[in-house]
Structure formats: C-alpha cells, structure tokens
Amino acid sequence: MATAGKVIKCRAAVAWKPNAPLVIEEIEVGPPQEGEIRIKIVASSLCHTELFHLFEGKDNRGFPTILGHEGAGVVESVGPGVADFKTGDKVIPVSAAQCGECRFCKSPKTNLCERSWLNYHVDLMSYPTTRFTCRGQPILQFTGTGTFSEYIVIRQMYVVKIADDAPLDRVCLLGCGVSTGYGAAVNTAGVTPGSVCAVFGLGAVGLGAVMGCKNAGASRIFAVDINEKKFEKAKVFGATDVLNPKAYDKPISEVLAELTNGGVDFSLECVGNTEVSRAALESCVKGWGVSVLVGYTDADFSAKPIQLISGKTWKGTLLGGFKLKDSLPKLVNDYMTGKIMLDEFITHKMDLEQINDAIHLMKTGQCIRCILTISK
C-alpha cells in the first residue's frame, strides 16, 4: 500500500487524563518495526475494562492513552520478520500475548505468556513504548492495542488472523468480553452436563458465561443482577431463572442454597466486585462446588477458610482460559455456523465521534455492547 513504511495521520479518541471525556484528535501512527503489524481498525466495541481504567483504577500512570481492546480490522503493512501475516488479512488484535515459545505458551494448563505486558507494566495497562504520538508527545496504547484509533501498531504475538468473510463489526466482540465469559464457563469452570450454575453480573461477560453454561449442558442457570432490565436478555442466552439480590431480606447465597438443595455446582462472578465474589463462592455447594472469578478489580478481598476447607474450589480466569491465537479462529467459525451468539450482545451502534455517549450508556447500565465504527 502507498502508506507502507510511512507515518500515518489518523483520528483517534485520546484519554488525556482519568475522569475526563475522551478527545477526538489527529494522531501520528509510526510504521511497524521488527515483529510488528500495522492494522486499519474497522470496528471496536467498548468494554468495562476501559471504564475501570478511566474512572475506577487506583493508578493514574497509564495516561495519556488511547483506549479500546475489542477491535477488528485489516492488515495495512507488516514490519521485518513478520511472515504469517500480509497486507489485506482480516485480523483481531488481542490484549493477551501468545509468543508460542515460553513455558506458559507450551503448557496446555494456561493461556498466560511470559512476554505479556501484564507481567511487567500492569501499572500502565500498556507497554511503555508506543507507535502513537499526538501534539508532540507519546500516547500509550491501552493493553498494547488501543483500538479507538483508525490505525494501530501491535506486536504479531497479539494478532489473530481470521476468515476472510468474517464480519468485523461482529467478531470484534470476541477480542475480550464474550470470549472471557464463555471460556470461564466451558474452560475454567468446566461446567458439566446436567449441572446447576449461577452467573453473577449480566454485562457482556456475564451473558457470555450464561451462553457457555447453556452450551456445556447445564440443566439450570441462575442469572443474578440488581438491574432487572437485563433479565430478558439473559433468558435469550439460556438463563432458566433470574434473581435480583435486592428483592430478598437474606443474602443471595442463602437464597440460592434454598433453591438448589445446598448450593449450585458452578458459580461465575462477572462483576469485579469483592462482595459479589464472596457471595458467589458462598453460593456453591460444599464438597465439589467451583466458583470462578471473572470480573477484574484491583481491590483486596477475603473469604472464610471453611468455604474452601469444606471442599469448594475458588479459581480465576484470564480471557476465559483461551489461548487466543489458537482459539479465536474457531470461535469466529462457531459464530458463523450458529454455534455461539454475537449479534444478540449488541445494543447500540455509533461512530467514533460518539465515544463519550457510548461510555455514558455503559456507565449507567443502559448498554451491553456498543459497536463503534472506527474507519469508514
């Protein structure tokens, strides 16, 4: 392409500081270097992780930054040493590395990678090096991606090639939230046929978990949220029962225990709230119950040791346990063949210039997923 090897000027939504609106700016995106790929982002959705970084995080060093990590696009050019991608490939950039060489990548037990930014720069929520500049200063790429920009540069170990006929404004959802919830159920929890499950929190991650429980064969799925407007959507994904904790004068764990003869087999916490995490654990049946922490928070939490001594298992998951470079092409195919749902997560569609409106909708619980058109 005519832009290969050159700096590209394009639009992006820049978060200059926390607790402030994003600003649409013209930025410069440098050409890809060794092992890097430059991607034209076509569509991106908004995930709660962006809201956490912008409004809730305790560390403010990760600014200025370009947010966004659920995107999809087309390869514009590749840097030296990149052999598996070419101009024109449809791709999904992801926030979890898979170098394929470290002991974690070689193990089937985890989707962690020793080379991930998570291991070294979690304070920034980004690598300190970036190909973004604006107003003469470097701009971080949130989680190494930064998909609220028309172009990004990213290391090839974070890029997944997908089918040429995949709709980018749908499959971008698989870059984080939906895959995280779905994988938390089918991979991390290991939901079994005929089991009873409870999913706490009915955002996109929680609804993905509900879908995972259903596809794994659960016989009963409790969807738990204080926002009853999400209940009908939960039923679309497979929930058999819906519960609002505020409707009871006792802890929700006690309610679930009464409804299930002692507790659920599997519970998934998809909120990122320590009190909800504890409630999810306490909702599991003793002896074999499994509770999975899915939602992210940087707050401390605790539980009574007897919960674990009695035979329960408490575990966490990152991106649903999927090695994304290996698993995303199959998940894309599963969507295109009707095995998993994506369209049903989408409640709004907007242009990049409306990013602050999209943030408001998600912050106030009016949005499951908003698809942003990044490049026309």
CA–CA dist 263, 279 (Å, integer): 11
- Provide the angle, in degrees to the nearest 10, between the axes of the packed helices 274-282 and 252-259: 20
Find out whether 372 and 350 touch, Cβ atoms under 8 Å: yes
Q: What are phi and psi of 157, to 5 degrees?
A: -75, 0
Residue 348 sits in the same domain as residue 229: no
Is there a single domain that holds both residue 136 and residue 197? no
Q: Mark whether 114 and 29 lie in a shared domain.
A: yes
Indicate if 188 and 145 belong to the same structural domain: no
Same domain (yes/no): 32, 159: yes
Same domain, 18 and 166: yes
Rg (CA), the chain: 20
- Specify whether 185 is located in the same domain as 234: yes
Same domain? 168 vs 187: no
- pLDDT (0 to 100) of residue 1: 65
Dihedrals phi, psi of 87, to nearest 5 degrees: -55, 130
Give every CB contact of residue 342 below 8 A, 6+ residues apart in sequence: 170, 171, 173, 174, 178, 335
| Each residue's pLDDT tens digit, 217-251 | 999 999 999 999 999 999 999 999 999 999 999 99
Please tell me whether residues 128 and 186 are part of one structural domain: no
For residue 311, give the CATH number of its domain.
3.40.50.720
Q: What is the pLDDT of residue 126?
A: 87
Structure-token match 């409004």, residue found:
55
d(CA 104, CA 101): 8
Asked whether residue 329 is assigned to any structural domain, the reply reads: no
**311 shares a domain with 263:** yes
> What is this structure's pTM?
0.95
Question: How many domains is the chain partitioned into structurally?
Answer: 2
In the chain, where does DSSP find H-type helix?
48-51, 168-171, 177-183, 204-215, 231-237, 252-259, 274-282, 306-309, 324-336, 355-363
**How many other CB atoms are there within 10 angstroms of residue 3's CB atom?**
16
Strand order of the β-sheet with 290-293 is: 241-243, 220-224, 196-200, 266-269, 290-293, 313-316
Provide the H-helix boundaries in 283-323.
306-309
Residue type, 245: P
Phi, psi of 119 (to 5 degrees): -80, -20
324 in any annotated domain: no
In a domain, 215, yes or no: yes
Distance separating alpha carbons of residues 126 and 146, to the nearest angstrom: 9
Q: Do 137 and 40 belong to one domain?
A: yes
83: number of Cβ within 10 Å: 7
Domain span at residue 294? 181-317
Contacts with 191 (C-beta within 8 Å, 6 or more apart), sequence order: 185, 197, 212, 213, 216, 217, 218, 265, 266
Q: Does 18 fall in a domain?
A: yes
Is 253 a member of any domain? yes
Positive or negative, the CA dihedral 293, 299, 300, 306 is negative
- Residue-by-residue pLDDT tens, the chain, 376 positions: 689 889 999 999 999 999 999 999 999 999 999 999 999 999 999 998 899 889 987 677 899 999 999 999 999 999 999 999 999 999 999 999 999 999 999 999 999 999 998 888 877 888 889 999 999 999 999 999 999 999 999 999 999 999 999 999 999 999 999 999 999 999 999 999 999 999 999 999 999 999 999 999 999 999 999 999 999 999 999 999 999 999 999 999 999 999 999 999 999 999 989 999 999 999 999 999 999 999 987 788 888 999 999 999 999 999 999 999 999 999 999 999 999 999 999 999 999 999 999 999 999 989 999 999 999 7
Cβ atoms 312, 281 nearer than 8 A? yes
The alpha carbon dihedral of 37, 38, 44, 48 has a sign of positive
Residue 205 and residue 303 in one domain: yes
Contact 242, 212 (CB under 8 A): no
Residue 85: give its domain's CATH number: 3.90.180.10
Per-residue pLDDT, 233: 96
Asked if residue 367 is part of any domain, the answer here is yes
Tokens of 93: 């950039």
In the 8-state DSSP scheme, what is residue 264?
Answer: B
Please say whether the beta carbons of 210 and 238 come within 8 A. Answer: yes
Specify if 285 maps to a domain.
yes
Give the whole-angstrom CA distance, residue 8 versus residue 22.
Answer: 21
CA distance 41 to 151: 6
- DSSP assignment of 77-109, as one string? EE-TT--S--TT-EEEE-SS---SSSTTTT-TT
Q: Which among 317, 333, 359 is the end of a domain?
A: 317
Residue 337 within any structural domain of the chain:
no
| Closest among 104, 35, 38, 41 to 69, alpha carbons compared | 41
Report d(CA 81, CA 94) in Å as an integer. 20
